[in-house]
Amino acid sequence: MIRIEAAAALIAFHRIKTEVRLHAMALAHDQELELSLRTLAPPGIMIGHRLIAVGDEHALLPEEAHAFKRSAVRVRRASGAARIVARALLHRLGYEMTALPKSFGGAPIWPKGVLGSLAHDSRVAVAAVGTSENLEGVGIDVEPAEILPADLLHLVTTPRERARIEFDPYRGRLLFVAKEAAYKAVYPLDQALLGHHDVEVDLANQQATVRNGRIVKLRFCISTHLVALAFLPS
């Protein structure tokens, strides 16, 4: 009888533990954004997100934490959250607890054969992961779903983009997030620093053209946040 009761107690404990874990996972996600992100990635690219939470800064592995030792807690927290998302995606590719240290240029260093990108704003962290079998480059960025301040419009956009600003319901913010994603996708290939005017975005045709003529495909998610995915198929 004691063994049966002990077994029942153990089963109940694991059930409660599972429920707590699932509840915590639900709290870590924006459900509306999650639904929108499901339509964002093309075949061969995985995308995830996480609501940045207190304690995420402790997710930085020793190989990663060194680069952030002088950063503010909010930066370490957001960077930890982004790596939680990335590690979950890498797990689906068979990688366990993979460190993603910052490179000299600031981008994370991915396992051989893997391409990826991280981003965050003040509330949400996102990651995109794929393999070199399908991709030459990938970039992701996230911004609040808010109109870009008017005084930044000329700084961020080209004259041609401003002439087609009606395609951006956030008056430059969607263009900004697309440029950031495109830059992340091409930097590992070209190793060139780019300004906002060096990347011209065509929202209607979902592509960006870099100053060297490279064309990057784009996809967008408009939800509680704006997310842009930029990629170059192999």
Where are the domains positioned within the chain? 31-233
Query: Rounded to whole angstroms, how far apart are CA atoms 37 and 39?
Result: 5
Per-residue pLDDT of 183-196, as tens digits, reads: 999 999 999 999 99
Q: What average pLDDT does the segment 211-234 reach? A: 97
Query: Rounded to whole angstroms, how far apart are CA atoms 210 and 214?
Result: 5
Other C-beta atoms closer than 10 Å to the C-beta of 134 total: 15
Per-residue pLDDT of 115-144, as tens digits, reads: 999 999 999 999 999 999 989 999 999 999
Q: Is the pLDDT of residue 218 over 60?
A: yes
Residue 106's pLDDT band (boundaries 50, 70, 90)? confident
pTM for the full predicted model:
0.87
Nearest to 141 by CA among 100, 107, 180: 180
DSSP3 helix / strand / coil % (the chain, rounded to 5): 40, 25, 30
State the pLDDT at residue 53.
97
Q: What average pLDDT does the segment 31-55 reach? A: 95
State the pLDDT at residue 198.
98
Q: Which CATH number fits domain 31-233: 3.60.70.12, 3.40.50.720, 3.90.470.20, 3.40.50.280?
A: 3.90.470.20
3-class DSSP state for residue 209?
strand
State the pLDDT at residue 15.
47
3-class DSSP state for residue 221?
strand
